[in-house]
Every structure is written in structure tokens, then in C-alpha cells.
Chains A and B, each alone.
Chain A
Amino acid sequence: MREIETTAVTDLVSRFYQEANFSLPADVLAAFQNALHSEKSPQGRKVLETLLENADIAARRRVPLCQDTGLAVVFVRIGQEVHLIGNPLAEAINDGVAKAHREGYLRASVISSPCFRRENTGDNTPAVIHVEIVPGEPFDIAVLPKGAGSENMSRLLMLKPADGLTGLIDFVVETVEIAGAKPCPPIFLGIGVGGTMDRAAALSKQALLRPAGEANVDLKLADLEQEILARVNALGIGPGGLGGTVTCLGVALEEVPCHIASLPVAVNIQCNCARRASGSL
């Protein structure tokens, strides 16, 4: 059995939440660079150049990449041989988010009661936390600050099995078309297929953790990702929505088994500010 003090979890979440808000992952920057070569619209290329320059300024000056520093989505994989000592895990994670908010001058973007009292919680907590228990002793954590502009344009549909892949692809393309310029394109797509409604949604978010440019290990699913990417880029929305050939920089699709009568499809749109940071204790 391995013992981990939850104060270490707090520190790690704070560090990752800040790091994610100041520096884009290398794979995302590489995707911008590649797009700069393939984008046909001059105005679209200018948007991509702006985003590269923005990433440079943010990292050098420690200014958040985007003013919407996100709702904290935190993925934890805990080995069942791990014993956590100290605060409850959720509290430790939320302490980390609050610490990042304070130390990194991040925005408080969370309200307590969406139905009645839309009051700001003041420290950007609580986080949305996904926990997975796995064999052995690992403790892995991934932090994904999620902006509302792109989250608000995400959609889920319970398709009929008869709708098949055509129905699935059409739904994704329609979702991106409706989103237009609102989710700050060029976007990334996380797609969750299968499970139940809730499982598909969580899976679509988890898919966004996959580095840009990395295909699904299943070749058939990798082909499906490519087909969706081509269809979405044919929409012409382009960087900033100003028109162009690069609307989407990457599609990550994950599937899990589901009921014989179901075909749940969740499309989580991620903006160009595709922030994430991860590591282990």
C-alpha cells in the first residue's frame, strides 16, 4: 500500500491549473503551425498567427491565454492500493483550484446556484471531478480548464441504432455548423459514443485529454475520426469563423459498449485555447 498526503494533491492541482492557463500544450501549438501551412484564407492565417503570438505572450508574461480561465475539470486515476491521508479528495482538489485562482490571478467564473442565486463563489470552485479506481498504486491527475464559449455549443443526442454512422457523422457536423464562430475556432472535438447519456458525455470530455494529432489506436475508429475531420473542415467556418479551410484541428472519438437499443453520441467542443496539464504523484 502506498500513502499519499492530500496536501500534495492540492499543490499539484494548483500548479497544473496555472500552468494550463499560461502555456498551451506543445501538440496544440504544433497543430496551429500545421494549420498555418494548410489554411487557404489569408484572414484565417492571420488568426492563427495571432493565436501563436498570444501563446507566446501568455507564457512569457504569465498572463492567462484567455480571460475565461475556465471551469476546472479534473480527472483522477487512483490505484486501489493507494491510501489518501488528510483532507477528503474533493476538498483537496478544490483547495488547489482556489489556490490557483489566488496565486495565478485567474478569473472567478463559477456561480453557486444556476436556478436561483447566480452568485459567484469567489474562488472558481467547485471543480467537476471524475475519479477512476484502477489496479495497483498509481495516482494520475489531469486538469482541463474549460471555457463556456465552447462548452455552451456542445451537444448530446440519443440516436437510434438504425441511424448508424451516417447519423452519427451528420450530428457532429450539424453541431459544429450551429456553433459557427461562437466556440472560438479552430476547434478540437471530443466525441463520446455509447454507454448511457451521462457516460457518453463524460467520455467526450475525457477524449479531449488526448494530444492533438494522436489518432485512436483502433484503426476503424481512427478512420472515422478522419472522416469527421474532413466533413467538418468542409464547412468553411475557418479560424475565428471568418471563413477558411481549417475549422477543426483534431477529432478524438472514444467508444464504450452500450444498450442494444441505444446509440448515445456526445460532442464536446473544445476551443482553440485547448488547455490541459497532467502528471502523477
Chain B
Amino acid sequence: MTVNLNPPLSAGDIADLKAGDEVLITGIIYTARDAAHQKLAELIEQQQDLPLELEGQVIYYVGPTPPSPGRAVGSAGPTTSSRMDSYTPAILSKGVRATIGKGERSEEVIAALRSHSAVYLAAVGGAGALLAEKIVAASPAAYPELGPEAIYRFEVKDFPAVVVIDSHGGNLYNSGRKRYRQQA
């Protein structure tokens, strides 16, 4: 099933998504990698104001290549999500409804997705050139001093991803693997 998502998202938008669903995102999403996560998680822990409103937002784990002249963004595929695992429960507690990356998440993240009504989406790792075509505009949103690790605001159109972990504990990485596993 393909579902269109237009952030900001409500808990209701997320509730019906099932692991294995394909989604197309149109609207605004925010990028964040290791350094930005660390800063955000620190502020959340100290109960300080954040540089951007996270409620309902979608966070994309990506570190694009520099854009060549005339382009909004360079190659921009997902990076390995597990590096963000330790910060993710804090980020989700602020109302982020979806994170996009690639690869397995920790048990803590899976539990936090459930308790905060959020989903984990995977984009195709290695498809940075194709995914960049879905990003129509990019502008710095926070922490410009972090350079390529800064938080960017991406305007996306029909950005494709798959629901890997839904808010009810469904996990496509586990169920998919089980389904196609052959006994030795």
C-alpha cells in the first residue's frame, strides 16, 4: 500500500501505518546527523528551548554531498540510523513523528516509537542521486556552524520510503527476513 504523507504529521496520521507500507512524503522535512542530535538531546535533557519546533516533524538522517552549481542539493541518501539510536528517544519525546534512515534500530528506539506514536522509515541506501531528485529546495534551519552536519530544511516532493518499524511494534526488517529465510 502507498500512503501520501504531508508533514507536519499528527499521531493519527501515524497510527494506521503498518510495517511494509510504502510512503511518499511531500512537504518539509529536517535533516540531522550525529552532531545535531547530540546538541538537540542535550537541550532536551536540560529542558531548554530548541532551535526548531519538533512537534509533528519528520527527521531525515542524511549528510549530502555539496551541491554542484545550479542544484538544490547534492547526492542525498540515508545514512546508518543506529548512530542516532542513543539520542532518538529524547527526540521522539518532543513529538517527532517519523525518522528516515537505513538499518536496524535499538530496542530502546523501538519502544520509544511505540510510546510516542512515531514510525521509522527506510529510504533506499545507495540511491542518493535518485533521492536528491525529490528534494526541490534546501536551506539551513539550525546550527549552521556544524557545516555539513547542520540541520537543513528540505522541501521534498514524493520522497519515497518504506515503513520499517510502525507504532505498534511491527518490524519489516524482522518479518521480511523471516519470510525469505531458507533453512540450511
Binding site for B on A (CB under 8 A): 40-41, 43, 47, 50-51, 53-55, 57-58, 61-69, 105-108, 120, 148-149, 152, 180-182, 184, 231, 234-238, 240-245, 271-273
Contacts and interface: CB of A to CB of B under 8 A. Distances in A.
Interface residues of B, number: 46
Interface string B51-74: 000000000001111111001001
A43 B79 CA distance: 20
A245 B124 CA distance: 17
B66 A149 contact: no
Contacts of B67: 105
Contacts of A64: 65, 74-75, 128-129
9 contacts: A41-B179, A54-B129, A63-B128, A63-B129, A66-B128, A181-B103, A181-B104, A241-B102, A242-B173
B176 A67 contact: no
A67 B80 contact: no
A106 B65 contact: yes
Contacts of B62: 67
Given A50-B124, A64-B74, A40 B103 contact: no
B86 interface: no
B130 A53 contact: yes
3 closest Cβ pairs, A-B complex: A243-B176, A236-B181, A184-B125
Contacts of A53: 127, 130
A107 B128 CA distance: 12
B6 to A, nearest CB: 22
Interface of B: 20, 62-68, 71, 74-77, 79-80, 82, 102-104, 122, 124-130, 132-133, 147-148, 160, 162, 164, 172-173, 175-184
Contacts of B147: 120
A50 B65 contact: no
A234 B66 CA distance: 39
A153 B136 CA distance: 33
B74 A67 contact: yes
A240 B127 CA distance: 11
Contact of A180 (B127, B173, B184): B173
Contacts of A245: 180
A107 B180 contact: no
Contacts of B77: 66-67
Nearest to A48: B124
B65 A107 contact: yes
Contact of B173 (A120, A241, A272): A241
B162 A43 contact: yes
A53 B124 CA distance: 12
Given A236-B177, A238-B177, A63 B132 contact: yes
* Most interface-central of B66, B102, B130 (chain A CB within 10 A): B130
A243 B164 CA distance: 11
A61 B176 CA distance: 34
A45 to B, nearest CB: 12
